[in-house]
Amino acid sequence: MSLEAHIAELEAKRQALKDEIEKEFGHLSADDLHIAELKRQKLWLKDEIARLQAESSAA
């Protein structure tokens, strides 16, 4: 898998998490712990994407 394809896959996963977080906020019985975990995963993906992009531009 090329680096660009990997980054695109991570961006798609990040968007899916963003959509899931928004959906969770729409529920009256939203689970704060679950939302916090989703946000942590989304942040990790953001950091990983930034790291890979920096790595690819340095190469």
pTM comes to 0.86
**Would you state the pLDDT for residue 56?**
86
User: Between residues 15 and 3, which one has the greater pLDDT?
Assistant: 15
Report residue 12 CA to chain centroid gap.
8
**Domain extent for 20:** 3-58
Residue 51 has what pLDDT? 96
Q: pLDDT (tens digit, 9 = 90+) per residue, 24-55?
A: 988 888 889 999 999 999 999 999 999 999 98
Cα(7)–Cα(51) distance, integer angstroms: 10
Q: How many domains does the chain have?
A: 1
pLDDT of 1 > 80? The answer is no
Distance CA(59)–CA(48), nearest Å, equals 17
